[in-house]
């Protein structure tokens, strides 16, 4: 996160722009509705924890003079497997801190982030006499929780002045038996890359109505080295893999984020046996 911020020029324009962008950037609910396993006795118990801190006039949620930090994310609990849940919880909290507080410093914490966030806002307000309230929101969701895989979504929405805020979404996938983060390459048989790339490209073109062979750069998309699957940000849902591309990663901000869903059946012969589907 930058330590120096710009002042918003038009408060009303910023508010309307942020509302529109935020609505456009919500992840599609189609796959999420079927995500969390129902009545799965092997699923780990979890609940949500919150970190909240405020400064200024926060009498209403829409107060222009309220600077607010509101972070909500899941934590897992198990009397039978405390080391397992402890490992998962530590990695979730690390990811939360990295999302809202990516500065390269040692001993990062949510308290340190909140103190710096509010301190920077005070400096801007004091220097210019007025400043539209800042915010840092984070919402966590459990997309899948069964005996094989736990899949988490973390969505950070932040505003620190300027024309618009920033929105970033990150997926975390854990092995439900070991608590380890799942590496993308561990899901596939050797030599999977070219075929997976073809499948994801096809699905991407279908979703965004792009013809086969059409140069994607003409539509504003830039995939580094022609790699269409995002092996750094994906969710292992019960029926398939969702790949997510945040704003600026493959397209300009005006296009917003992009995502593509690929069913496991479309990856038949590439996935390791019985790894993803119960």
> What's the CATH code of the domain at 75?
3.30.565.40
Domain boundary among 182, 205, 233: 182
In this structure, the answer to whether residues 62 and 194 fall within a common structural domain is: no
In this structure, the answer to whether residues 142 and 261 fall within a common structural domain is: no
Domains in the chain, number: 2
- Is the predicted pLDDT of residue 42 greater than 90, yes or no? no
pLDDT band at 8; cut points 50, 70, 90: very low
Q: How far apart are CA 160 and CA 179, in angstroms?
A: 35
In this structure, the answer to whether residues 90 and 203 fall within a common structural domain is: no
In this structure, the answer to whether residues 87 and 18 fall within a common structural domain is: yes
Q: Is the pTM of this model over 0.75?
A: yes
Please write the tens of the pLDDT for every residue from 143-154: 999 999 999 999
- Is the predicted pLDDT of residue 25 greater than 70, yes or no? no
CATH code of the domain containing 262: 3.90.640.20
Domain boundary among 117, 151, 182: 182
Residue 178: give the domain boundaries.
Answer: 1-182
In this structure, the answer to whether residues 33 and 135 fall within a common structural domain is: yes
- Is the predicted pLDDT of residue 179 greater than 70, yes or no? yes
Domain boundary among 182, 203, 218: 182
Q: For the residues 112-122, what does the mean pLDDT come to? A: 95
Q: At what angle do helices 82-100 and 110-128 cross, to 10 degrees?
A: 20
- Is the predicted pLDDT of residue 232 greater than 60, yes or no? yes
Q: What pLDDT, on a 0 to 100 scale, did the predictor assign at position 189?
A: 95
Length in residues, the chain: 278
In this structure, the answer to whether residues 192 and 177 fall within a common structural domain is: no
In this structure, the answer to whether residues 168 and 201 fall within a common structural domain is: no
* Of the listed ranges 11-20, 56-65, 112-121, the one predicted with least confidence: 11-20
In this structure, the answer to whether residues 153 and 212 fall within a common structural domain is: no
In this structure, the answer to whether residues 59 and 146 fall within a common structural domain is: yes
- Is the predicted pLDDT of residue 249 greater than 80, yes or no? yes
Q: Half-sphere exposure (CA, 13 Å, Cβ side) for 233?
A: 18
pLDDT band at 205; cut points 50, 70, 90: very high
- Is the predicted pLDDT of residue 202 greater than 90, yes or no? yes
User: ∠ at Cα 139 (10, 240), nearest 5°?
Assistant: 120
Q: For the residues 30-57, what does the mean pLDDT come to? A: 74
pLDDT band at 217; cut points 50, 70, 90: confident
In this structure, the answer to whether residues 148 and 15 fall within a common structural domain is: yes
In this structure, the answer to whether residues 192 and 274 fall within a common structural domain is: yes
Closest CA to 80 of 41, 111, 119, 49: 41
- Is the predicted pLDDT of residue 27 greater than 80, yes or no? no
In this structure, the answer to whether residues 171 and 193 fall within a common structural domain is: no
Closest CA to 220 of 260, 170, 164, 258: 258
């Amino acid at each position: 996160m930058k330590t120096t911020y710009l002042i918003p020029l038009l408060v009303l324009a910023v508010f309307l722009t942020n509302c529109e962008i935020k609505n456009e950037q919500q992840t599609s609910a189609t796959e999420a509705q079927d995500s969390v396993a129902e009545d799965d006795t092997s699923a780990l118990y979890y609940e949500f924890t919150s970190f909240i801190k405020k400064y200024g006039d926060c009498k209403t949620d829409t107060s222009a003079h309220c600077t607010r930090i509101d972070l909500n994310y899941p934590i897992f609990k198990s009397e039978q497997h405390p080391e397992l849940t402890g490992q998962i919880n530590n990695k979730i909290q690390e990811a939360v801190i990295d999302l809202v507080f990516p500065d390269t410093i040692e001993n990062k914490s949510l308290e340190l982030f909140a103190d710096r966030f509010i301190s920077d806002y005070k400096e801007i307000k004091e220097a210019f006499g007025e400043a539209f309230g800042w915010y840092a929101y984070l919402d966590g969701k459990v997309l899948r929780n069964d005996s094989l895989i736990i899949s988490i979504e973390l969505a950070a929405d932040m505003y620190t002045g300027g024309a618009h805020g920033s929105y970033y979404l990150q997926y975390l996938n854990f092995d439900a038996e070991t608590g380890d983060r799942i590496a993308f390459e561990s899901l596939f048989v050797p030599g999977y890359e070219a075929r997976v790339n073809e499948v994801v490209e096809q699905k991407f073109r279908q979703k965004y109505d792009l013809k086969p062979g059409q140069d994607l750069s003409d539509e504003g998309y830039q995939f580094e080295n022609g790699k269409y699957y995002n092996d750094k940000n994906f969710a292992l849902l019960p029926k398939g893999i969702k790949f997510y591309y945040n704003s600026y990663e493959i397209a300009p901000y005006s296009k917003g984020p992009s995502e593509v869903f690929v069913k496991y059946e479309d990856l038949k012969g590439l996935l390791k046996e019985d790894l993803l589907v119960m």
